[in-house]
Amino acid sequence: MKQLMPLLFGLIVVQALPAQETTVPATSIKSYPVLFQQTAAEYRALCYQAFNLAHLRLQEIPKRKLRKKKLAIVTDLDETILDNSYSEAQLIKQGKEYSSQAWKQWTSRSVATALPGAVAFLQAAKQKGLSIFYISNRDTSEITSTLLNLQQLQLPDADTAHMLFLLNTSSKEARRQKVMAEYEIVMLLGDNLTDFTTAFEKKPIDIRREEADRIKDEWGRKFIVLPNAIYGEWENALYDYERNLTPAQKEAKRQARLTGY
Ligand SMILES: [Mg+2]
């Protein structure tokens, strides 16, 4: 018994300690991509690369055939022109998940910064006589605060006539068509592939990848893509577009998607 005492005591101590936390809190999953966006010089270089390429394409436009319509550039806003990583960082710090309420708290501040190179590129396009249309899935209730944000960043065509926000469908096709009624769209910019065509809408991972390959010549030409590792349609596809999954269910899907060797 005397020899058993230390062992029993040890067992009691071990049991009294709180259970070891082995699962990563769901909200901290996002800390890595948020830090990439906020700290990596590589992220900034990728943004400059995209806008430098867009600028080169812009210079090629006047060399083409005479146009019948006015020319326009269509661009997404979030993670294409505006950096919203602060909202994600705040959620992580508070241990909270994304919610539309938290998102609107952020956008109501009108303080998103511009992606590196975004403002200079759009100003140059405007100077060349192109119109800029901001097709965003921000809610129409966010127009006033977003407009203020765009104006403070000195973005061209920052007025409600050039802001086509979410009405009743997340698909941007109808809004692109609306612009095309009067303008020829010579370039589109986005971080989600649904910012460019309908071909990626609600499609599974394999189809999205095949479609990206099929139109590979468009990337860096008519379609300019900005990096977004924090969120997007790629993430929705990862979870089969299922909403309301628990953190454990999400983790299971992520694990199942990993390809080893
Ligand atoms: Mg976006």
Query: How large is the average pLDDT for residues 98-123?
Result: 97
Query: How large is the average pLDDT for residues 23-34?
Result: 77
What is the structure's pLDDT at 61?
83
How many A from CA of 233 to the centre of ligand 1? 9
How many A from CA of 213 to the centre of ligand 1? 21
- By mean pLDDT, which of 12-21, 70-79, 113-122 is the weakest? 12-21
Q: How many domains does the chain have?
A: 1
Report whether pLDDT(97) > 80. yes
Instruction: Report residue 162's pLDDT band, with 50, 70 and 90 as the boundaries.
Output: very high
How many A from CA of 119 to the centre of ligand 1? 16
- By mean pLDDT, which of 16-20, 32-36, 148-152 is the weakest? 16-20
User: Given the DSSP bridges, would you call strands 163-166 and 183-190 parallel, antiparallel or unpaired?
Assistant: unpaired
Q: What is the pTM of this model?
A: 0.89
How many A from CA of 76 to the centre of ligand 1? 6
Structural domain boundaries enclosing 170: 31-257
Q: Is residue 229 part of a domain?
A: yes
Any idea what the CATH number is for the domain that residue 170 is in? 3.40.50.1000
What is the structure's pLDDT at 18?
47
Separation CA 2–CA 135 (nearest Å): 77
How many A from CA of 78 to the centre of ligand 1? 4
Q: Is residue 237 part of a domain?
A: yes
Instruction: Report residue 16's pLDDT band, with 50, 70 and 90 as the boundaries.
Output: very low
